[in-house]
Amino acid sequence: MYKEGNSLVIKILILIFMLSFLSACGSQTADNEKEKTDPSDTFTVATTFYPLYIEAANITKDIPGVNLINIAPPTTGCLHDYQLNPEDLKKMSEADILIINGAGMETFTDKIVSQLPELKIIDASRDIPLIKGEGDEYNPHVWVSITNAIQQVKNIGEQLALLDPDRAADYTANTEAYTAKLDDLRVRMHQVIDNAGRKDIITFHEAFPYFAREFNLNIIAVIEREPGSEPNAAELSETIKIINETGIKVIFVEPQYPAKSAETIARETGIKLYTLDPAVTGEMELNAYLNIMEKNMDILREALNQNER
C-alpha cells in the first residue's frame, strides 16, 4: 500500500515537472517570437525624395531593425510643386525620423511640423553654403555637387547616430564607407573636368549651380528657369545670341524633362545636345548616385572638349 501510494506521488511529481518544463519552453518560444516581431524594435527612417533615399539607403545598409521608406514617388523629380497627400502624412506619422533636403526644397515642411509635431526631422543640407536662386530664395539642388552630397551623408549619419544611439556604430561605419566611395569619384571627376578645354556651359534649368561651383564651370545661360516653363521668343533669341557670341557648341539637357526648347535652339544654331543628369530620379539601388555621376563624368569629358573653339 505504501509503495503504491509512494509510486503514485512520484508519478504526479514527474507529471507536474514535465508540465512546468513544457510551459516554460512554450513561454520562452513565445517571448522569442514576440522579440522577433515586436514592431517597437523597428526604427523607421523616412526620406522626402529620391536623392535623399539613396544617401540614407547607404547609411542604413544592413543594419538590423532599420526600416527605410521614401515619401514622394521616385519618378517625381524635384519637389518644387509637390503637394503632400494623406498617404504621405500617414507614412510620416509611422516614422521615427524624417530626412529632408532643406534649403527650401520641401515647401511643405511647415505643414509637417504643424501636423506631426513629435516627428524628428534631419536637415541634410545643414552647414552647406547655399547659392541664391530667384528672388530671395536659395537654390536647393545641393546634392548635385559631390562635395555637398558627402556633407549631406555626414549630416544624416551623425544625426541618426545621435537619435538612435543603439545603432550608432553601424551608422558611423556605413557613413564612412559611402563617403569614401563618393570622395574617390570626386577626385576622378576633378581630374577629368579640371583639364577640360572649355568651362562655359548652358544648362536646361537651375539644377547645376552647385555642381558648376565645385568644378569651376561657368553657367552662361539657362534655358528654362523652372522645369516645364518654356522660354518665350525673346528668351530663346537671347540664348541664341549668347551661343553665337561665345562659340559654345553644346547644351546640357536633363533626362527628367522634355527638351523641346533646347531642340529648337539646336536647330537654329547647329549646337549639339548632351544629357546631364541631376540625379533626382533613378534606380532605387545603393550605387545609383555613383553610377549617374560616373555617366555624367564621361559625358562631360566629351562635351567640354567638344566645346573648344
Q: CA-to-CA distance for 171 and 279, rounded, in angstroms? A: 23
Report pLDDT for 260.
86
What domains appear along the chain, each with residue ranges and CATH number?
A: 40-189 (3.40.50.1980), 195-306 (3.40.50.1980)
Gap between the Cα atoms of 299 and 290, Å rounded? 14
Return d(Cα 122, Cα 120) in angstroms, integer.
7
Residue reference for cell 528654362: 224
pLDDT of residue 71: 96
Element (H, E) at 47: strand 43-47
Placement of cell 581630374 in the chain? 191
Q: CA-CA distance, 144 to 251, in Å (whole number)?
A: 18
Residue 76's pLDDT is what? 87
Q: In this structure, what C-alpha cell is assigned to residue 144?
A: 548635385
Indicate the helix (H) or strand (E) that contains 218. strand 218-222
DSSP 192-216: HHTT-S--EEEESSTT-HHHHHHTT
Strand partners, 219: 201
Sign of CA dihedral 89, 283, 296, 243: negative
The tens place of each residue's pLDDT in the chain, 309 residues long, gives: 444 555 554 555 454 544 444 444 444 433 443 343 344 589 999 999 999 999 999 999 999 999 999 999 988 888 877 899 999 999 999 999 999 999 999 999 999 999 999 999 999 999 999 999 877 889 999 999 999 999 999 999 999 999 999 999 999 999 999 999 999 999 999 999 998 988 999 998 899 999 999 999 999 999 886 666 778 888 889 999 999 998 888 899 999 888 888 998 999 999 999 999 999 999 999 999 999 999 999 999 999 987 454
Q: What is residue 81's predicted lDDT score, i.e. its pLDDT? A: 77
Cβ-in-10-Å burial (0-12, 13-18, 19+) of 286 comes to: middle
